[in-house]
Structure 1
Amino acid sequence: MSKFDISFDSNGITLAGHLYRPDGAGPHPAVVVGHPGSGVKEQAAGLYARLLSEAGFVALAFDAAYQGESGGKPRGLEDPAQRVEDLKAAVSYLTTQSSVAADQINLLGICASGGYGLAAAATDHRVRRLATVSAADIARVFRLGADGTQDPAVFQGLLDHAAAVRTAEARGEAEQDLTLFPDTIEQARELGGEHGAEGFDYYRTPRGEHPRSAGTMPWSSVDRMATFDAFAAVPLLGSRPLLMVAGTRAVSAWMSVEAFQRATGPKELHWVEGASHVDLYDKPEYVVPVVAKLAEFFAAG
């Protein structure tokens, strides 16, 4: 297996990626791997891409526009429309590679990219098979909370603040960002329960932290996400196979269930016993068998 630094265009923005290529003559089947919200290609997406490459796939992990090593301003922006376009652009890039079998390109979305991947694959018929791991619709996370029980007033307050920030910036005041993580894991647990603490443990400790992983996002991300619905187009997957992987302890699992119920073609919801949402990012006891499941799924005719 070899890894290459690559770049490609997405709607006029240059994206940075890592292309993992298996040994042996091609062309090989391929997988685009999308990273979680606030993540970068060196974290969960890169781990899955490397392991899939070792299983015989060309795998592409990349930084979303405005994030990581990719271009675009303002930095850290979470724009659902652009994130969907990024995944389609990654598919386009793979179609240009002689090492890739262009009719065997698949998509894997992790966390927020699971939601974005559903929207991208639904309308891009070049995607042969779609899989998600700990799928999340980031708009639902902000509107309803990771567990789906958030008081609607919370999101209304976020929209109030996003509107005020837009006005302030229009008047020339300094740009303001929304902080994604508090200062300590105790604060993260108080604000977001065990799910919040798990996110902190992955993104803000040596376990998974990376200097380019976003700790903030522009407030304009909030109203961009407000009306996005990652699951609306799921029926458009039609007869293309769907595999959704979720942990039995994941507070976000309700989103995988909801999306799964909307799919009308061949589908499987694969439960990982004892795993939380974030466990599936990097813990070998969960990731290794999940990758074996994914490899079997993507290799199927």
Structure 2
Amino acid sequence: MQNVTFTNAGVTMAGNLHLPDGFSEDRSYPAIVSVHPGGGVKEQTAGLYAEKLAREGFVTLAFDASHQGESGGQPRHLEDPASRVEDVRAAVDYLSTLSYVDAGRIGVLGICAGAGYAVNATMTDRRIKAVGTISPIDIGAAYRLGWDGTEPVARQLATLDAVAQQRAAEAAGADAVIVPYVPETVDETTVPDMAEAHDYYRTPRAKHPRSDNRMLFTSIANVYAFDAFHQVETLLTQPLLMVAGSKAGSLWQAEQLLPRVNSPKELAIVDGAGHVSLYDIPEYVDQATAHLSPFFTKYL
């Protein structure tokens, strides 16, 4: 693995480049960009899958989103879907410049919110030849409709009212408000996926100092306005693989997306897995990789 940097509209992006066993700069390899979940960093699940796929013969790149992790960009802790989609394109830019990467065989893998960003980037970047996803969600839908898809419109509008008030306050000199991506504490009322997300991000299981569970509250306006799968029926012509857990509370998102896609597509269900189980639990990661490796081998 090599630490690398590349640029995105003047922002310096930080990435980890994983190389296959027996790597030689004289050879030509297919390559995959690995896109982390909202609030994640490259050293967590995106890096784990990048490492797994590098062992399968791919050059893989996991990177930190702009405004987050080791990447540049101000303000910090911004979750801006437009920037995150552009991050994916910039990562493809970087891979395409490497002499040992076949620029005609580049794919993208996205995890959780990173899956929505990966699909959205693939729809409008014809250099991406295939897109794989793990526990896929559209972050816009997840915030507007709630994790289970039942958030009433009145509560959505109330949230936007609060964001508007905060923007006005910050314009007048108030401090920014930070909110967590996942719960800082859990109890018996916590949604199971969110309880496991807490365990993943906020305990030694996968906690990382640069994944600090901090998001600007005003980011929510950008997130609400984002529809990762808008025009997927016509613009996504590349093959799509979705891997999701049978017990994931987010499974409805993959199930609703599947019939909308007109390109070669597959929804692979991992029995017994939840949303976050697929991030790092070895038996589930191995099953997910067993779907991803032949998919990318076939289409790249």
- Partner SS for 1:300: helix
Instruction: Tell me which amino acid in the other structure corresponds to 1:141.
Output: A
Measured after TM superposition, the shift of residue 257 of structure 1 is 1.4
Quote the residue 2:185 is aligned against: 184
Q: Sequence identity of aligned pairs in percent?
A: 48
Quote the residue 1:249 is aligned against: 247
- Partner SS for 1:269: strand
Quote the residue 1:268 is aligned against: 266
Measured after TM superposition, the shift of residue 237 of structure 1 is 4.5
Quote the residue 1:173 is aligned against: 174
- Aligned positions of 1:46-195 closer than 5 A: 46-186=47-187, 190=189, 192-195=190-193
CA contact (8 A) 2:38 2:181 kept: no
Distance 1:181 1:134, change over 3 A: closer
Instruction: Tell me which amino acid in the other structure corresponds to 1:32.
Output: V
Distance 1:228 1:183, change over 3 A: closer
Instruction: Tell me which amino acid in the other structure corresponds to 1:295.
Output: S
Deviates more, 1:16-25 or 1:236-245: 236-245
CA contact (8 A) 2:246 2:274 kept: yes
Quote the residue 1:220 is aligned against: 218
What is the count of residue pairs matched by the alignment?
Answer: 296
CA contact (8 A) 1:34 1:62 kept: yes
- Partner SS for 2:191: helix
Measured after TM superposition, the shift of residue 245 of structure 1 is 0.7
- CA RMSD in angstroms comes to 1.3
Measured after TM superposition, the shift of residue 238 of structure 1 is 4.5
Unmatched segments (≥5 aa) in structure 1 = none
Quote the residue 1:24 is aligned against: 23
Distance 1:142 1:239, change over 3 A: closer
Instruction: Give, in whole Å, the separation in 2 of the partners of 1:39 and 1:15.
Output: 15
Measured after TM superposition, the shift of residue 248 of structure 1 is 0.7
- Partner SS for 1:260: helix
Instruction: Give, in whole Å, the separation in 1 of the partners of 2:231 and 2:64.
Output: 24
Distance 1:294 1:181, change over 3 A: closer
Distance 1:64 1:152, change over 3 A: same
CA contact (8 A) 2:184 2:198 kept: no
CA contact (8 A) 1:80 1:225 kept: yes
- Aligned positions of 1:269-288 closer than 5 A: 269-288=267-286
CA contact (8 A) 1:76 1:214 kept: no
CA contact (8 A) 1:109 1:131 kept: yes
In the TM superposition, what whole-angstrom CA distance separates every residue of 1:200-237 from its partner, at most 9, and x where no partner exists? 01100111111111312112211111221001132245
CA contact (8 A) 1:237 1:265 kept: no
Measured after TM superposition, the shift of residue 261 of structure 1 is 1.5
Distance 1:295 1:245, change over 3 A: same
Deviates more, 1:257-266 or 1:129-138: 257-266
Measured after TM superposition, the shift of residue 99 of structure 1 is 1.9
Instruction: Tell me which amino acid in the other structure corresponds to 1:38.
Output: G
CA contact (8 A) 1:84 1:116 kept: yes
Instruction: Give, in whole Å, the separation in 1 of the partners of 2:236 and 2:65.
Output: 27
Instruction: Give, in whole Å, the separation in 2 of the partners of 1:299 and 1:182.
Output: 38
In the TM superposition, what whole-angstrom CA distance separates every residue of 1:256-279 from its partner, at most 9, and x where no partner exists? 112222110111111111110000
- TM norm structure 1: 0.95
Measured after TM superposition, the shift of residue 98 of structure 1 is 1.3
Instruction: Tell me which amino acid in the other structure corresponds to 1:100.
Output: V
- Partner SS for 2:288: helix
Unmatched segments (≥5 aa) in structure 2 = none
Instruction: Give, in whole Å, the separation in 1 of the partners of 2:114 and 2:180.
Output: 20
Measured after TM superposition, the shift of residue 154 of structure 1 is 2.7
